[in-house]
Structure formats: C-alpha cells, structure tokens
A and B are shown apart, each in its own frame.
Chain A
Amino acid sequence: MDLDYDQISKEAQEALDAVLGREEPLKPRDRMAIPAQPMPAQPSGVRVGNMDEVALGYTEAQARVEAMRCLQCKNAPCIDGCPVRIDIPAFVIACADGDFQKAIDIIKANSLLPAICGRVCPQEVQCQIDCTVGRALKDVEKSVSIGRLERYVADLERAQGKAHAPAVKAETGKKVAVIGSGPASITVAADVRREGHAVTVFEAFHKPGGVMMYGIPEFRLPKDIVQGEIDTLREMGVEIQTNFVVGRTRRLQDLLEKDGYDAVFVGTGAGLPKFMSIPGENLVGVYSANEYLTRVNLMRAFDKENADTPVLPSRRTAVLGGGNVAMDAARCAVRMGAAEVHLVYRRTEKEMPARIEEIAHAKEEGVIFHTLENGISFRGGDDGRVHTMECLRYELGEPDDSGRRRPVPIKGSEFLMDVDCVIVAIGNDSNPLIKQTTPAIETNRWGNILVDDTGKTTMDAVYAGGDIVLGAATVILAMGEGRRAAASINALLG
C-alpha cells in the first residue's frame, strides 16, 4: 500500500507536539500507544521506473516519535540480538531527546557502517525480534524500528557534513594487506589503520565495495553511501588497489614473503554462483543472479543510453529462489522493463530467507509469486534463447538440517512456463581462488576458510572473515568478523 509522504510527516509532527506538550512524563502504556512510524517510500508506480532508493527515510519528527516508543528495558533484549552489540536503548533515547549527534556517536562506538546497516540489516531477526514492544503487540513489525532510527541518525550526520574520518595514530612502520573490499575488509582496513599501521586493500573489480557495490541494487543501498565509506578509508590513508586479484596478479605468500606485509586479511566473499545442473541451463537468457545484478548495478545496464553492458530485453522473466538475492534480481528485472516477473520458489513464503520488507516491496512492484514450484529444465529455440521453463510442483515434508520443512516434489505435476529470461538465484559458494593458490590455508568441505576464535586461519599472520568464512551471510556479520580479526591483527603487530 502506498502511503502519502506529506500525510505521514504531518501525523508524526502532531504526535510529537502532543508528547512535547504533555506535563506528565510518558508511562510505558503511553509509549505503547504511540503509533509505529511507517517508512515513507517512493510510490510503487513511480519507483518501478527508476533506480532511486525506495525507502526515503524518516522525518525528524518521525524519528523522535518512533524512538519514544522504546520502553528502555533493563534487560535490553535488542542488544542481545545485535551481532555487534550496539547500546541500542542509549542511542534510541538520545533520538527521542532529539540529540542525534549523541545517538550516532553511541552507534559508532560499535558499528562502522551505520548508514549501510540501517538499510540492509535484517533487523526483524536480530535486534527487533525480541523487542518488548513488538512482543507485547504480538507483531515483530510493530517492534521499535531500530534500523530506521540508525539510518536516520547516520544520514543526518552525513548530510550535515559531520561524518569525519576516524583519527589515525602515529605510523608504526608495519604493513597489512587486506584482500577484497566488502564490509569485512572495509572494517579491517579502518580498524587496523587507526592504530597507525599502513594498509593496502586489494580488490579484483574496478570499483571497491564488494557485494554492496556490485550486488545490492541502488534502490536498496545507494552507491554513493558505499562510496562514502571507501572515501573515508582513503582519507585515513588506506591505499586501495583495484584491478588486483590476489592469487593471480600476485600470490598471497608473496605479499608476506616478498612485499613486506606483516599480516594479511582475507575477505574475499562468497562469490561463486551455484547453478542447478539441469538441462538447458546454458541457454541464452539464463543468468546467474550474480551476473544479472552485476550487469545492472556495477556495469550500470539500467542506464541504457550510456552503459556498454546490457541485459537482454525480456517480456517474461522468471527468478528462481527466495532469498534477498532473488528479490533484488526480481526487482531489478521489473526496472529493466520486463512486462512480467515471476518469482519461483520451492517452499512457501514462510520459509523464504528474504527480508519481509523486500518480499513486500517486490509484491508491491508487481512481482508474481509462485511458491511450492521449481524449474527443472529449460528449453530454447534455434537461436539458443530460452523460451520455456519446465516446472514441478512441491509440497512440504519433514524439516531438514536447516530446520525448514523440506520441499517434496509431487509426482506427475510437471507443467510448462513461457519465459524468455531466467535468473538463477539459489545461492553462492565460496570463491576458491585463494584456497587454490595458497595451500597452507585450510577450508571446510564447502570451501569456507577455517579460522580460530581470533579470526586467524591455519596460516601464520593470515586472518579471514565475512562470507568467505561464514558462507553467504550478512553485512553486519561480515563487519563483526572484521572487527574481531582487526583486533587480533593489531594485537599481533603490537
């Protein structure tokens, strides 16, 4: 449902004035009665025609009113839900008081990337899942919107030009190499540089930022925010070498043995697209989500006039998968002009790993959901372009290892779907390049690098974190891992 921006901000202002005009302080019951503030958003009919950010951010009045809903619980279940343990009640009460600078300072004591995490963290399964307000109202969507508040204060600081690069201690003469430039690597680079060690970031792509740059679309995470974090690193004196693929341009051992680096951090992510090994998978028009998203975002296919790297024009696109990546791909396909976008998932909506907000946005934008179905083969014409997807229907059986109920195919339920583009978004494995070229680094059977509880790999002076350790995970977990590894590297270098 599209909400009117002016209406939202007017109501928030009235609610704020009402609270500020009170003689009595707010009691918990009053706080619970304050309406949860909705996120203003571009109307769905408009946003499908552009790449701009969908969620517009709270107004000041909304931020204060939303913050006033917080009960300041002594046991603070929200902190337990936060992977980097931000002092959430403290920053939220600062928001309620209108002291936004204090709020952002509190967040920054634990999180390096609040403008990003405020946008892409799955708060509904982290800090907001056990929020007392949400529990009392029996709806996690009615929990205090901690993420939106985080985003508000981070954006405000940036808009006011007050976001300064952290101070850097005197040069120590030590050198650290950071491989990859996603959130794990950005965190390590900043935390290690702060201590005065020289840091070089090596990134294979022509632009740094990792998945935040090439995968997550502009309409969910504007690229200038990611670029801002990269600029901050540069301001701190971190050197960033793009077009440098460790393992090929230079081997990891050589960085340590020949180039004089004292420690290395590996943050190379989970960049290997999984395919399903089914007939017709290599037809023209069948993409991995990685390829599709990279074409649209990093290579800017959405800017049809200027970009050299297009995606194929499509009438009916099918996206296979039910995670964030699938939603992003489906929503990009809508914006790239497909008349119909079908999202096909083997289980039900309840099992979808995607964020609730993303599912809702995708539906608003006209993505058609097919649950308990999956593609089993693709057929193409003489030109090699896919024109049909053969599908099968499923029902849910017993729970599997992941605790989700296993999809069981229904015999004889095959049917055909007319498609001219398919995006396979069924997950990513770890990028094997570092492992292949660095025998001393051990991995588990999924190719994830093994680390101890300090973030150290099986090779001396080499640390790792983020998706290359966890498997495809989240930005905040990558950041948390980066913090841990950086602390260990700083301890190692003394």
Chain B
Amino acid sequence: MMIAVAWRNVWRNKTRSLVITIAMSLGLASGIFYMGFYRGMMDQRIQTAIATEASHIQVHHKSYLENPDKKFFITQVDSTLDAIRKETGVNAVSSRIILNTMIQSAATGSGVKITGIVPENEKLVTNLYTKIAEGSWFKDGKRNPIVIGRKLADKLKVKLKSKVVITLQDMEGNMTAAAFKVEGIFETSNTAYDENCVFVQKADLARVMVMEENACHEIAVLLNDNALLDQVNTELIGKFPDLDIKNWREVMPEVYLLESSFNLTMFIFIGIILLALLFGIINTMLMAVLERTKELGMLMAIGMNKTRVFMMILLETAMLALFGGMWGILLGWLLNFWFGIQGIDLGAWSTAYESMGFDTLIYTHLPLSVSLQIAWMVMVTGILAAIYPAIKALKLKPAEAVRIDM
C-alpha cells in the first residue's frame, strides 16, 4: 500500500513530475549516448591498435625498447617462434626486422620505419593486408617489393611500380642503398602510421643489411582473445627470461590510458549530469512536500510515525528518479543500439581524428555492466535527493499543520 500511495503521490502533479522525468531522461540519455560513443571510439581504437599495429604481445631483445638499435636482435628465431606458437591461447606469431631509416623517391625523401616481415606470417597476425587500397600484398614473389602507406606515397609522389631507394647502415656499419619497387599502397584509419611505416620482405631486408636469416628485432604475438592477455604474458615471461616480453598495454600506454580512464571519465561525466538533475529532483520534491503540509501533518496526527513519513517521501523521490532514470537509460540504450549498427560519421572532424589514429565511422557501444552502474548511480541520486525534502517533512508539527487558518 505504501508503494501504491507513493506512486500515486508522484503523479499528483502530472505536469511537474513529467517535466522532471523528461529532464532526467534526456539528460541521462545524452550522457549514456555520449559514453557509448566514447566507448565505441575507444574500443575501435584499441582493436585497430591490436590488429594493425601492436598485436597483443611483443617480444624483443632485452635492450631493444630502451635503445632500438639494430644490433639488439633476437637469435634462434625459428625455435622461439615454434615455442610461442605451442602456448595455449596463441593464435599466430610473426617475426620482424625493424629499422629507422630514409626512403627516397625521384621527387623527395622521408624518414620512415621500415619493417621486414614474412608476408604469410604477418598476414596471420596483423590485418594490414586488408588495408591495401591499390596493388597487392607481396604477391609477385619478385625481388625487393615494398608496400607503403597512401600518405607517404602522396608525399613521395610515387605510384605503383615506382622505384624508391632505401638508404641504410648495414650490420657492419657500412652505408648501403637498395632499390625497392612499390607493390602495394595501404590506407589505415591512422594517417600518421600511413606516413611513417613501410613494409618489405624480411629476407630482402636481411640481405641488404647483411643480417643473419635466423634473427629478428621483434616477434608479434596474436592471441585468440584479449582476455587471455595477462595469462599468456606471464607464461611467456616465465619461459623466455632472456627476452623482453611486453603486452600492448605496455607498448602503447597512450591507448591503454584510454581504456583505463574510461570508468573514471564515465563516473565524472554521468556524475555531473546527475548532480544537475539532483537539484531538479530536490526542487520538485520540496514543492511536493511543502504543498502537502496539511496532509502530512494530518498523517502524523493520526499516527503515522516519522520513519514511515520519511520512507514515504524517500520512496516517492526514488520512484520519480528511477522512473526518469529508466526512460533515460532506455532511450540512451536505444540510441546506442541504433548507432551501434548505423555508425556515426564524424564527417567534418574526420581529419583531426584520423591523424590521432581514430576511425571516422564510430559504432556506439556500451557494455551492459556500464548501464547497470549508471542505473545504480541514478538510484543513489534518487535517495540523496530525497533526504532534504524528507527531513523538511519531518519538521512539521502536526498541531500546527492541522490547524485551520481562518
């Protein structure tokens, strides 16, 4: 009965309750939608980072990350690769030779990070081969093919089949140069990456550098599931004490920061919205209490104790908040669902986001657990909002409240 009374009391002043309900649902819906957008953007960035750039786990020589010099390479690569492949949870591995050097075309030159890969292995680990916009991904089997990004191709003013020259210092310290022929041009959502990274066959690069075949600078490991990250990471560290094993969170701390700060961002963002709504609810409930002083006084006069009066106001406030909150969450969820399928085109802002490595078509996404957290925050807000009006109600003196003023 108490619940029925509270619920009916909420709707005594329909307009007022409706206004605050609508304010709540719109406020929350936009908050949830924004969080869904942010989360979607973040997840896509992480996925791209794993699929295109960092993979799940990277293996290097102990000193390599501190000082990425070509002399810090991993030896006995074949047996190491085999051992990693046997680890449960590991999907694929790829070994790479990496060198920061200069690339030159007939028109101009640019500093690049050149990566020598075994194409068929790399294909299993990163999805770069799917980003080929023109040409192909090491198909010919010819000597010295190179795959570069669109941005770099534009900068160097080269096309497919154009010749570029890589200048480098070999393992013995001699400066050499080698000509490569553009076989493919890729386009990822990260323009900085497209400008700075080029790919050649590992064997070709090893030959130019006079580096032994069974060596590499980096081994990229792709897992079946990101959830296995910590487990496999620890296993590998135990197995290869002489190597440096790092997961993507360590390799790309800026991306990990996105992930780890999400919850905090959400709490603050939704918290601010709820704080504003809190005052709206308090105002509404205060009005509801003050215009009912006679009735509340009467209830206390006939024997409704303070706990019950308090509970009734609390219940009314919580219901109001939850009702508005429920619609808000539902609306926000629907928006996220719709734009989770349709995607949101960043259009005009896309260049700025692309240069930071973000996709420009964002699919909103918000895990259920986050929605539940928000629902929980709404509940707390409702209860907080109830306290002041409820205390106000308790201060009423029944004798004065029931007295009829002439």
Do A and B belong to a common assembly? Answer: no
Which A residues have a C-beta under 8 Å from some C-beta of B?
none
